[in-house]
């Protein structure tokens, strides 16, 4: 991880611990290594506030937060972030069957095209993960 002043606060370190646990250290560390003078403040913002403030709150377990992220990212049509959070959801104990049910629910409330795209992303990720196991 790059040594930057933006990455030195206690809240950043708290968020970084959760971010690595959910998304995987390899992904997070590579993302931070790509930080430059232009986007380091964005890395700081998301790590401190999304991961340090919100994901560490006691009101919802990580599994529930992951399930909400899947639904919201599907609704927003953000396949790259959805793929990332699908992997994080699996890390947080969300099952493939639960993901299927979330995506079926999104078909009704967010629209079939959004859900179809999400099913494609999930299917590709699962196939990739299953291939890696063999």
pLDDT in tens, 41-80: 999 999 999 999 999 999 999 999 999 999 999 999 999 9
Query: What are the extents of the domains in the chain?
Result: 5-54, 62-133
pLDDT digits (tens, 9 = 90+) for 100-129: 999 999 999 999 999 999 999 999 999 999
- pLDDT category of residue 134 using cuts at 50, 70 and 90: low
Q: Is 84 a residue whose pLDDT tops 90?
A: yes
Q: Select from 77, 76, 74 the least CA-distant residue to 86.
A: 74
User: How far, CA to CA in Å, does 82 sit from each of 2, 38, 97, 120, 132?
Assistant: 26, 25, 16, 11, 20
Phi-psi region of 93 (alpha: psi -120 to 50; beta: other; left: phi over 0): left
Q: Is 4 a residue whose pLDDT tops 90?
A: no
What's the whole-model pTM score? 0.90
Instruction: Give the model's pLDDT for residue 133.
Output: 66
Query: 62-133 architecture in CATH?
Result: Up-down Bundle (1.20)
Instruction: Extract the tokens encoding 81.
Output: 């972030």
Are 30 and 1 in contact by the 8 Å Cβ rule? The answer is no
């Amino acid at each position: 991880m790059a040594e930057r002043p933006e990455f030195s606060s206690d809240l950043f370190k708290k968020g970084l611990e959760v971010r690595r646990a959910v998304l995987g250290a390899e992904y997070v560390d590579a993302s931070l290594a790509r930080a430059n003078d232009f986007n380091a403040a964005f890395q700081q913002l998301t790590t401190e506030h999304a991961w340090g403030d919100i994901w560490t709150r006691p009101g919802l377990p990580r599994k529930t937060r992951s399930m909400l992220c899947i639904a919201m990212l599907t609704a927003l049509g953000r396949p790259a972030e959805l793929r990332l959070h699908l992997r994080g959801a699996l890390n947080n104990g969300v099952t493939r069957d639960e993901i299927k049910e979330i995506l079926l629910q999104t078909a009704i409330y967010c629209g079939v095209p959004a859900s179809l795209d999400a099913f494609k992303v999930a299917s590709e990720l699962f196939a990739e993960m299953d291939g890696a196991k063999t």
